[in-house]
Amino acid sequence: VVSRTLWLSQQGELCHSISPLNRPTLTIDPGDTVMVETEDAFGGVIRTKDDEFDPLVYRSLDWTSNPLTGPIFVKEAKKGDTLVVEIKDIKPTIGQGVATVLDLLWLLSENATARFLDVKIPAEKVLRRICPIKDRKVYWSEKVVLPYRPMIGEIATAPGAVMPNPGCHGGNMDLPEVSIGSKLFMPVYVPGALLHVGDAHAAQGEAELSGVAIEMPAECTLAVDLIRSKTIRWPRLETADYIMSVASSTTHGASLRDAIRIAFMELVLWLEEEYRFDRWDAYQLCTQVAKVTIGNITCVGAKFPKEYL
Amino acid sequence: VVSRTLWLSQQGELCHSISPLNRPTLTIDPGDTVMVETEDAFGGVIRTKDDEFDPLVYRSLDWTSNPLTGPIFVKEAKKGDTLVVEIKDIKPTIGQGVATVLDLLWLLSENATARFLDVKIPAEKVLRRICPIKDRKVYWSEKVVLPYRPMIGEIATAPGAVMPNPGCHGGNMDLPEVSIGSKLFMPVYVPGALLHVGDAHAAQGEAELSGVAIEMPAECTLAVDLIRSKTIRWPRLETADYIMSVASSTTHGASLRDAIRIAFMELVLWLEEEYRFDRWDAYQLCTQVAKVTIGNITCVGAKFPKEYL
Amino acid sequence: VVSRTLWLSQQGELCHSISPLNRPTLTIDPGDTVMVETEDAFGGVIRTKDDEFDPLVYRSLDWTSNPLTGPIFVKEAKKGDTLVVEIKDIKPTIGQGVATVLDLLWLLSENATARFLDVKIPAEKVLRRICPIKDRKVYWSEKVVLPYRPMIGEIATAPGAVMPNPGCHGGNMDLPEVSIGSKLFMPVYVPGALLHVGDAHAAQGEAELSGVAIEMPAECTLAVDLIRSKTIRWPRLETADYIMSVASSTTHGASLRDAIRIAFMELVLWLEEEYRFDRWDAYQLCTQVAKVTIGNITCVGAKFPKEYL
Amino acid sequence: VVSRTLWLSQQGELCHSISPLNRPTLTIDPGDTVMVETEDAFGGVIRTKDDEFDPLVYRSLDWTSNPLTGPIFVKEAKKGDTLVVEIKDIKPTIGQGVATVLDLLWLLSENATARFLDVKIPAEKVLRRICPIKDRKVYWSEKVVLPYRPMIGEIATAPGAVMPNPGCHGGNMDLPEVSIGSKLFMPVYVPGALLHVGDAHAAQGEAELSGVAIEMPAECTLAVDLIRSKTIRWPRLETADYIMSVASSTTHGASLRDAIRIAFMELVLWLEEEYRFDRWDAYQLCTQVAKVTIGNITCVGAKFPKEYL
């Protein structure tokens, strides 16, 4: 069987949550490559300095997910399998991205605190930046030019039911490592896996301090495959240099520290199960060589260098 | 208009998540009283010491919510209103409840830790207790008899979209104060509010250490009303002695401490907005007289004694 | 041997940290009762609305502890013993207490956030309240009169070396239950135990929202005794109605949730070791009947009702 | 004035806490370079596979700090200044380091949980590894050879009084960036600054999972200088590629997430104060390009790439 390349344009309605109830917009075979058009985190509402944008209205539509393309139904995928998505490319589609400041949720945990303190931040439009992207550079200001380091902020299979976002199924992880050349492994919970994709960033630091990266509409080229009857509990990632376990602090009220703990436990068990490490050796060696990536402030990856596998 | 009393039996399918997509099973007017039959947290599967119960299978059906009755569509309720539910009564329907130990999620944050540590707990069936309930007493063991202090563990309006559970819409709060005589205020996000009810407990301590209270099927008598055009951000509760703001640590990766902070900020702003307190006076007086209730470990209430209102 | 009553006036220098290096100001026998004069949390600097007070200067003197009286050397006490302090009385010594707002550390976790946000709070003096205390009432304002519910905010043995405050040795727990009629058990780490006492409050709510209760100088009557060769890991408390395990989130970067978890584990093990409960029964019964007290936001108590012992 | 090079051998007694009460073991001028001999985190007790080591005894001596050399009194340093320590070199002194597993504190937050769960880990001696270090390589096992990436795990000025460790004064940060070529800035709280140094590691991953890196006695060459009348609130670090703000979660019960928040706020204010960034630009640019390092699980650094300064 020759693997095909399919095109999923972002014409129809965007998904606003990751759900088993979303109707597939494309059906593919394991092994197919899909070019997925994604809209940006603002649903394409902000294209110029002057576009009107009301975050409250926007949020009320659905604040638990970015606008997503899909879901993509992967034939034969069933509960207990693992979906593999290799990211072949991420291209900006309109030659620009947008950065801004919406609120201080991350800083203050909740808007009640901001209200209590009468915190004022400058108007969103004043802080808004339309950043041209060309020749693999992102023009953040006249002086500051960033390298184009694209990534997919939100990608997930559908959970069996409602699940926090991000969660065991992936979701809004905002991990810079979900980038070109990486392979992402996600648990399959429902028939067809139902792959959702969106929220591409042209550049993003760790922790995504303000919650808004360089948000851009993009065309993501994804090679999708299936590992049958292999069950993982949390997403895994393989980059050029690392294997990485992902966990998040949205589940069961876990703290960020709990999430790091979970990610490391999964990493140690992964090393035991697939790379024949003794459990306690893996535990010790992680202590000496592992790295931690903080995605957005709720999601973390524990990374082990491939050179020691 | 005379307010009616309606009956919502638990015959049909239970809801397994709190969702705007759930179809109403009853439509009522504001002012109506409803007697709602609820199934227990195990979906009625455990009635005797010997009933088979597989938590993994059970969870895979939907682990983000207890089995719920409803939703109930409240006519005229619309986004921006507040739904008021006065709890008139909570009766056990089969004269018993069940307590047990399922896993150690709460203790270890995640099962990966348990697997890494090879933690063993006694079999669920061994620890399982079928507790007769009669004459307002719960027979926990031959020696230990608890007072019947019923409460509703999970109650919510439907969020606009996916929301963590518990969250701003209520949900699996497991607050002992959601009991007979209390009035619960919840934000309305969708037309009809879509009230979901379930997970009654015959008794529960604060923090719900093992995650399993005395779980019972129940008949809950609820007087449902509407405050139009009044918008609240988090659930509020009024008991005989306290007003109480509720917040949870499932949202945006907030910690339990963050949740307490959120609940207090909402309480202070509530005192300012409705009880004419100066903001800083309210802040100081809460310091001297407020109480905190930990529901399950993810949900908290900040309480202010009514005598100082 | 007749037990004596001794007097420890607050004339000399106050301790500004809980340390094994502090020189004893009084030596007693196990069984003695001591009337301890304590200064308030502001070192007595604020007595009127107009007294000058600079929190920064004050903090730089020693911000990890309130001004403390002692330490008291308890003869024969040695590492591995448990010190028992029964609180017989707490009397206000100048007929007033002071409440105020110092900063927003609790709300914002750190002053950097406040500086980033340019948060302004009203001047301390404007918010300051001098509250007369008489006839077991605290006059908070012309309208609001609080019941006098005195407690000791900070009480500790000396740790073996530096320890976070609060910590396993007690310290600035700010638990309302450390009140008249309660017995507090603390680990002994150094010869003589070195009991430190201070920071009395005329009233305080749970969580001590602003960080400043009704702070008063006081005379605390303490019956001090020793349980030889009994080692506990965290403070314990016995009130009229409850036994209570204490833990705090200052140790090893534990979260508040971790502290609750620690306190409950200690409570369950206590029930097992001293009250002949099966471990899993204790775990389950705590789930049904336990309460949680949040002291200041870093310290918690898990409480088990004595009626089920 | 010519800067001198001095030698501080580790002959005398080690410090077991970072304290203003520790007597200086060396006095230097600002601008001097010191070669400091440090003992390993086990106080040199473990040199072979067979050496007896009792973590409980060891901890009871002082569990809040590693064995430290110093303090070094820096002439003219006074409260409100900033101490600058440039790390010129870190050499292993006995050609080996030791790695092991002591307990599961990090995993379980507290030993009560381990006791409740009857968690068993293999004996420390079984897991212990004596790792030869030569030619800039660390021989972890027959198969695994790690690059020698030395760092100083604990370095601090003395706080004004008791302070959590790590804290605003530095301490047991376990940040891999505290390495050769880096400049560390720490607040001065007491006359002479009182620099404490110890806990060198031959290699360590982020988060220091088990709590034990490749622990080695070392000779650290430190160029010590002073910035007069410049006050910082938390340690700062300058590496070849980054400027970095440090914060920790041990203070006031802050969570790891709070610590990241604090570190970022300090970083943004630093960019504003010293690099002429607009505050909100700095906030946004950190969002796009910053990195986060997790030291041991309680301490974090927020890093900004120098190329954008």
Say which residue the tokens 């990486």 belong to: A182
Q: What Cα–Cα distance (Å) separates residue D206 from each residue in A110, A291, A294, D212? A: 29, 5, 12, 12
- Cis ω for the linkage preceding B166 (within 30 of 0): yes
SS3 readout for chain D:
CCCCEEEECCCCCCECCCCCCCCCCEEECCCCEEEEEECCCCCCCCCCCCCCCCHHHHHHHCCCCCCEEEEEEECCCCCCCEEEEEEEEEEECCCEEEECCCCCHHHHCCHHHHHHHCCCCCCHHHHCEEEEEECCEEECCCCCEEECCCEEEEEECCCCCCCCCCECCEECCCCCCCCCCCEEEEECCCCCCCEEEEEEECCCCCECCCCCCCECCEEEEEEEEEECCCCCCCCEEECCCEEEEEEECCHHHCCHHHHHHHHHHHHHHHHHHHHCCCHHHHHHHHHHHCEEEECECCEEEEEEEHHHC
CB-closest option in C203, C256, C285 to B257: C256
Q: Nearest residue of C to residue A122 by CA position?
A: C117
Per-residue pLDDT, D57: 61
pLDDT at C176 over 80: yes
How far apart CA B266 and CA B272 sit, in angstroms, is 10
A119 Cα to chain C: minimum distance (Å) = 7
- Among C206, C288, C308, the strongest candidate for a mutation testing the B interface, having the largest count of B CBs within 10 A, is C288
Residue C147 burial (10 A CB sphere; 0-12, 13-18, 19+): exposed
Say which residue the tokens 């769960």 belong to: D117
CB-closest option in D113, D162, D254 to C261: D113
- Cis ω for the linkage preceding D30 (within 30 of 0): no
Per-residue pLDDT, A68: 92
Q: Identify the weakest region by mean pLDDT among A214-223, C113-122, C297-306, D236-245.
A: C113-122
Query: Can you tell me the mean pLDDT for B250-261?
Result: 84
CB-closest option in D121, D205, D210 to A289: D205
CB contact under 8 A, D112 and C162: no
Q: How would residue C120 be classed by pLDDT, with cut points 50, 70 and 90? A: confident
Q: Nearest residue of A to residue C255 by CA position?
A: A255
CB-closest option in A64, A110, A253 to B262: A110
Q: Nearest residue of B to residue C121 by CA position?
A: B280
Residue C203 parent element (H or E): none
3-class state of residue D69 by DSSP? strand
Which residues 290-309 on chain C approach chain D with CB closer than 8 angstroms? 297-298
Could you report the per-residue pLDDT of D222-280, keeping only the tens digit for each?
999 999 999 999 999 999 999 999 999 877 778 899 899 999 999 999 999 999 999 99
How far apart CA A157 and CA A18 sit, in angstroms, is 8
Contact residues on chain A for C104, CB-CB shorter than 8 A: 117
Given CB atoms, is D130 within the 8 Å cutoff of chain A? no
Residue C253 burial (10 A CB sphere; 0-12, 13-18, 19+): buried
φ, ψ at B22 (rounded to 5°): -65, 135
How far apart CA C7 and CA C90 sit, in angstroms, is 14
Contact residues on chain C for A257, CB-CB shorter than 8 A: 253, 255
Per-residue pLDDT, C7: 82
3-class state of residue B61 by DSSP? helix
Query: Strands across the sheet with C145-147, in order?
Result: C96-99, C129-134, C137-139, C145-147
Q: How many CB pairs under 8 A join A and B?
A: 136
Which of D67, D255, D60 shows the shortest CA–CA distance to D153? D67
pLDDT at D70 over 60: yes
Indicate the pTM of the whole model: 0.92
C266 Cα to chain A: minimum distance (Å) = 21
CB contact under 8 A, C257 and A253: yes
CB-closest option in C117, C255, C258 to A119: C117
Q: DSSP class of residue C23?
A: P
A190 Cα to chain B: minimum distance (Å) = 10
Distance of CA D29 to the CA centre of its chain: 23
Q: Nearest residue of B to residue D254 by CA position?
A: B257
How far apart CA A138 and CA A133 sit, in angstroms, is 5
Q: Who has greater pLDDT, B254 or D268?
A: D268
CB D137 within 8 Å of CB D187:
no
ipTM, interface predicted TM-score of the complex: 0.93
CB B121 within 8 Å of CB B103:
yes
Which of D273, D275, D302 shows the shortest CA–CA distance to D289? D302
Could you report the per-residue pLDDT of A185-233, keeping only the tens digit for each?
999 999 999 999 999 999 999 999 999 999 999 999 999 999 999 999 9
Given CB atoms, is C104 within the 8 Å cutoff of chain D? no
Q: What Cα–Cα distance (Å) separates residue D164 from each residue in B208, C171, D300? A: 31, 14, 15
pLDDT at A61 over 50: no
Per-residue pLDDT, D255: 87
> Residue C83: beta bridge partners?
C186, C226
Could you report the per-residue pLDDT of B112-170, keeping only the tens digit for each?
788 888 888 888 999 999 999 999 999 999 999 999 999 999 999 998 866 788 999 99
Residue C132 burial (10 A CB sphere; 0-12, 13-18, 19+): middle
Q: Name residue A167's amino acid.
A: G
Q: At what angle do helices C279-289 and C256-275 cross, to 10 degrees?
A: 120
B109 Cα to chain D: minimum distance (Å) = 9
How far apart CA C204 and CA C195 sit, in angstroms, is 23
> Which chains contact D through at least 3 pairs of Cβ atoms less than 8 Å apart?
A, B, C
Which of C106, A259, B299 shows the shortest CA–CA distance to D297? A259
CB contact under 8 A, A287 and D205: yes
Contact residues on chain B for A251, CB-CB shorter than 8 A: 110
CB-closest option in D127, D211, D284 to A210: D284
Q: How would residue C61 be classed by pLDDT, with cut points 50, 70 and 90? A: very low
CB contact under 8 A, B283 and C214: no
* % of chain A surpassing 90 pLDDT: 73
How far apart CA B107 and CA B110 sit, in angstroms, is 8
pLDDT at B19 over 50: yes
Residues C14, C259, D62, D182: is their CA dihedral positive or negative? negative
Mean pLDDT, chain D, whole residue set: 91
How far apart CA B101 and CA B113 sit, in angstroms, is 17
CB contact under 8 A, A252 and B105: yes
Torsion region of B197: left, alpha or beta (phi above 0 gives left; psi -120 to 50 gives alpha): beta
Per-residue pLDDT, D301: 98
Per-residue pLDDT, B162: 67
Per-residue pLDDT, B62: 47
CB contact under 8 A, C257 and B255: yes
Exposure b/e, B68-104, CB count within 10 A at least 16 = b: bbbbbbbeebeeebbbbbbbeebbbbeebbbbbbbbb
Q: What Cα–Cα distance (Å) separates residue A146 from each residue in A297, B187, D196? A: 22, 43, 40
Given CB atoms, is B261 within the 8 Å cutoff of chain A? yes
Q: How would residue D61 be classed by pLDDT, with cut points 50, 70 and 90? A: very low
Q: Output the six-digit token pair for A245.
A: 């376990």
Q: Identify the weakest region by mean pLDDT among A111-115, A202-206, B285-289.
A: A111-115
> Which chains contact B through at least 3 pairs of Cβ atoms less than 8 Å apart?
A, C, D
CB A198 within 8 Å of CB A69:
yes
How far apart CA C29 and CA A256 sit, in angstroms, is 48
CB contact under 8 A, C204 and B288: yes
Q: How would residue A162 be classed by pLDDT, with cut points 50, 70 and 90? A: low
Per-residue pLDDT, A118: 83
Q: Output the six-digit token pair for A160.
A: 């069996």
Q: Identify the weakest region by mean pLDDT among A65-69, A94-98, D94-98.
A: A65-69
